[in-house]
Amino acid sequence: MTKKNKSASQRRLIPTYIFLVIVSFISVFPLYWMIAAATNTSTDVSRGKIIPGTYFIENFRNLISQQPLWGSLWNSFFYAILTTIVCLLICSIAGYGFEIYHDKAKDGLFSVLLLAMMVPQVATMVPLFQMFSKAGLLNTAVGFMMPMISTPFMIMMFRQNARAFPVDIIEAARIDGLNELQIFFRMFIPTMRSTYAAAAVITFMNAWNSYLWPKVIMQDNSAMTMPMLIANLITGYVTDYGMLMCGVLFCSIPTMIVFFVLQKQFAEGITGAVK
Identify which of residues 48 and 190 has a Cβ nearer to other proteins in the complex.
48
Q: Which of 64, 74, 78, 130 binds other proteins (CB under 8 A)?
A: 130
Query: In this structure, which amino acid lies at residue 174?
Result: R
Site string for other proteins, 154-193 (x = CB under 8 A): -x-----------------------xxx--x---------
Q: Is 57 in the site for other proteins (CB under 8 A)?
A: no
C-alpha span between 84 and 206 (Å, rounded): 9
d(CA 96, CA 154): 11
Q: Does the CA dihedral 209-213-214-215 come out positive or negative?
A: positive
Query: Which of these segments, 57-65, 136-144, 192-200, 211-219, binds other proteins (CB under 8 A)?
Result: 211-219
| Total of chain residues touching other proteins, rule CB under 8 A | 96
CB of 259 closer than 8 Å to CB of 48: no
Cβ neighbors of 233 (< 8 A, separation 6 or more) are 63, 66, 67, 239, 240, 243, 244, 247
Using CB under 8 A as the binding rule, the residues of this chain from 103 to 122 that contact other proteins are 106, 109, 113, 115-122
Angle among Cα 83, 145, 76 to the nearest 5 degrees reads 65
- 59 lines the binding site for other proteins (CB under 8 A): no
Tell whether residue 241 is a contact of other proteins (CB under 8 A).
yes
x/- binding map, residues 1-30, to other proteins, per CB under 8 A?
-----x--xx--x--x--xx--xxxxxx-x
Among 18, 50, 164, 169, binds other proteins (CB under 8 A): 50
